[in-house]
Structure 1
């Protein structure tokens, strides 16, 4: 409550002193008698059974929260300067990160707003008036009086936070801000991983396109041979038709890859905040290096997943809001103070014109609200239970994603080795079939069959090779990023 000049009948100094002492005793009794009532329930993070080790990697140790640690420039482990440049653009231009940053700034401002309630609200006020007092006034009747009045002073209003309503509101908003900070980290990591994944897909398409370019050239040479042999009456029309179909099919696949590459390139442009019309990445057959993922990586990095940190801090905020809802069952007590100067003429500021007021100490206690407070408390508890379940699911999903990445990396290593062997064998079979055809030892069906098998094996080898890079990106993302020392 704000101060204002006293009007009406004056009280004696002794009466004011007794009133102040009685008010102080009321506050002390309330503070010591009810201040011990805990409105904030103890924070208990949901217990989740964690494995002693990952099934597909040794070296697991218990993790401790560390989402604040630097994720590092993990993409540099792929040793590709074009990828480095693309990731650098993510922080500079993408609207997705700008929106996440704005949400974080808003949460910080909301936390500052709640913290402001922990301090007194101080107002500076002043007024000037000129008035005529009636001769029939109730106090001091007499002749009419025309008087000036000038008031200048400071007023203070402060809520005594005995039950923790303000403190718990601050806890909740602070945890919300920390959750938004974790969400910002999560959005940045997600964008970086998405750009890296799309870039690897683009290079996989480039590698396949170059393979098809070589294949089309080889098929064209073979078709020219078949055409010459057909015109000379050596090759049949069936052989000629098979050769033409093989060549046309390879050219069609090449055109399809061009459209696929353009779509991937456009998606990268959108993620880095560029216009698809003016954005381009030059085609190249880039052999990407794979980052080294040491055995101790899960124990060091799973703890840094920003989505787990976000879920945990939202749980802290929900727990604090239970305390806010509980505090509504207790009275709200506010203290007002005022001081200043009041005069009818200059000088305004002097020892004689000063005044002060302690109080009022006001108390508001709701007796009946139709069950509103109990309903709000039930809502806050239900919100906590929901977020606790979300937290458990987030952690379980994290373990699943890491296990998926580790098992897939293990499987792809063997698959890549065997697929290279298959591609080399299919290429030898293609050459042998073409030689046999030239020597008249086989028909062209054997050649086309060998060519189809060789192309399929080479394409599969390219797919597996780049899938290893994509899986490494997914694993790094599942682990919450990596520091330069990790990669």
Structure 2
């Protein structure tokens, strides 16, 4: 008996000593990643791109009150965000449940039954009687190998990953609203130019038809003019459809049926623009800021902690418990004599010597952690690729826009000259309309380029991933 008591005390003492040590399994260290030396972005355009860090709530750079209101509404009621938020709240509840489960556990039980005490054949039966059974028990698991600590690390990291997923959804929704708003206004701007081109071509066709009737122009000239008019008119319906689609998208993003979009936007012809160079920061700031990178890093932290949980399976589980109870017949004293029951001592569970299962689980967790590390590296590289690509396209489209603007300005100058010559009778009205049609085409190309630049800016903001990094857990 003494030897058994000594062995029990030795196990408890060993468990206490182990629990005071570091938890088994690897201690998590945030990875440096494949872009540890990332610095400035490759795309350089001082007049259009600034190295200033991207500010929170980047859409306010447009200084557009209506756009600010729409983004705020979307962030409040968007259905996709509500789903992600519910998942986040569930993850937080799971983490709280895990913390509560690893504390001191108390249980109370009570019951009433009808029975008959055994007389073992010695005396007469005393008949049936009511029996009361009640008890109170407490238990506490000693964290022998740090299993509890690692488990809590895992659930906390998983909850933080869900937080980053929610922030990523917010970035996506905000970018979606700005994109839909921009697309609607860009389609309106292009529609304005397209309709002007159609009106000019109709005038040109009327002059050509009159000239053909007078024998000045051939039937071929009339057919060519009709063909050009049909081509210009064909541009209008797709633009109207694009504007309508953008408005439907905007309505749904802000929690409304597709047709319940702001009526004023159906007439918008001016795209939101920036009054200063676009702030993009640097690659290192991007890595700290992107929610998907933070999510991948937290998932890696959770996977690393799980290795410790599985490693703890090689060690015994020790639970300290105590209970106090009573079982008595109704009408007797509940806590007297043999009616009182109590117990105190550890409960030890150990799978030794069969460690093959535990080691297989450790190998499984280690492989999962390696996959999470690869996922983190891939997420960082993909984020850098998206940012570099978006910035490079923006710079190239700016160059295209400048050349199209030069072409538009040259066409405008030619149209002014033609107008003066036509007023003096030097050129015909048909020649003047042809010059104006060329100007309208140049205006259309420039409007399309302006729309591309507006979309590029939203793509850059989405790639930079800013907005909520100030409250996020930084990569260590």
Does the alignment reach a TM-score above 0.5? Answer: yes
User: Within 2, Cα distance between the matches of 1:296 and 1:85?
Assistant: 24
What's the offset of the Cα at 1:21?
Answer: 6.4
Alpha carbons 1:121, 1:157 under 8 Å: kept: yes
**Structure 1 position 85 matched with structure 2 position 92:** no
SS at structure 1 position matched to 2:266: coil
Q: 1:66 — aligned with what?
A: none
Q: 1:50 — aligned with what?
A: 37
- Which deviates the most, 360-369 or 201-210? 360-369
**Structure 1 position 144 matched with structure 2 position 140:** no
Within the candidate set 272, 285, 299, 1:288 is matched to: 272
**Structure 1 position 472 matched with structure 2 position 453:** no
From the superposition, tell whether residues 291 and 168 of structure 1 become closer, same or farther in structure 2 (CA, over 3 Å).
farther
User: Within 2, Cα distance between the matches of 1:259 and 1:388?
Assistant: 45
What's the offset of the Cα at 1:351?
Answer: 7.4
What's the offset of the Cα at 1:419?
Answer: 2.1
Deviations 1:244-301 (A, max 9, x none): 2222221121122212222232333333332224446422211422164576833656
User: Within 1, Cα distance between the matches of 2:429 and 2:266?
Assistant: 41
Q: 1:113 — aligned with what?
A: 97
SS at structure 2 position matched to 1:248: helix
Q: 1:398 — aligned with what?
A: 383
SS at structure 1 position matched to 2:111: strand
TM-score (structure 1 length as normaliser): 0.82
**Structure 1 position 176 matched with structure 2 position 158:** yes
Within the candidate set 164, 172, 191, 2:146 is matched to: 164
Question: For 1:147-226, what aligned pairs fall within 5 Å after superposition?
Answer: 148-226=130-208
Within the candidate set 6, 9, 25, 1:40 is matched to: 25
Within the candidate set 11, 18, 24, 2:9 is matched to: 24
**Structure 1 position 263 matched with structure 2 position 245:** yes
What's the offset of the Cα at 1:343?
Answer: 3.5
Question: For 1:261-410, what aligned pairs fall within 5 Å after superposition?
Answer: 261-279=243-261, 281-290=265-274, 292=276, 297-298=281-282, 302-346=287-331, 355=340, 357-367=342-352, 371-410=356-395
From the superposition, tell whether residues 318 and 288 of structure 1 become closer, same or farther in structure 2 (CA, over 3 Å).
same
Alpha carbons 1:154, 1:339 under 8 Å: kept: yes
User: Within 2, Cα distance between the matches of 1:247 and 1:34?
Assistant: 84
What's the offset of the Cα at 1:194?
Answer: 1.8
From the superposition, tell whether residues 295 and 198 of structure 1 become closer, same or farther in structure 2 (CA, over 3 Å).
closer
User: Within 1, Cα distance between the matches of 2:338 and 2:301?
Assistant: 52
RMSD: 3.5
Alpha carbons 2:304, 2:369 under 8 Å: kept: yes
Q: 1:481 — aligned with what?
A: 466
- Which deviates the most, 296-305 or 390-399? 296-305
User: Within 2, Cα distance between the matches of 1:54 and 1:423?
Assistant: 32
User: Within 2, Cα distance between the matches of 1:391 and 1:210?
Assistant: 47
Within the candidate set 61, 86, 89, 1:102 is matched to: 86
Deviations 1:327-356 (A, max 9, x none): 112122222211244443457566778845
SS at structure 1 position matched to 2:267: coil
Unaligned runs of 5+ in 1: 1-14, 64-69
What's the offset of the Cα at 1:119?
Answer: 0.9
User: Within 2, Cα distance between the matches of 1:266 and 1:456?
Assistant: 29
**Structure 1 position 240 matched with structure 2 position 225:** no
Alpha carbons 2:314, 2:352 under 8 Å: kept: no
Q: 2:473 — aligned with what?
A: none
From the superposition, tell whether residues 127 and 20 of structure 1 become closer, same or farther in structure 2 (CA, over 3 Å).
farther
What's the offset of the Cα at 1:182?
Answer: 0.5
Q: 2:109 — aligned with what?
A: 125
Alpha carbons 2:401, 2:449 under 8 Å: kept: yes
From the superposition, tell whether residues 293 and 122 of structure 1 become closer, same or farther in structure 2 (CA, over 3 Å).
farther
SS at structure 1 position matched to 2:133: strand
What's the offset of the Cα at 1:453?
Answer: 4.6
SS at structure 2 position matched to 1:282: helix
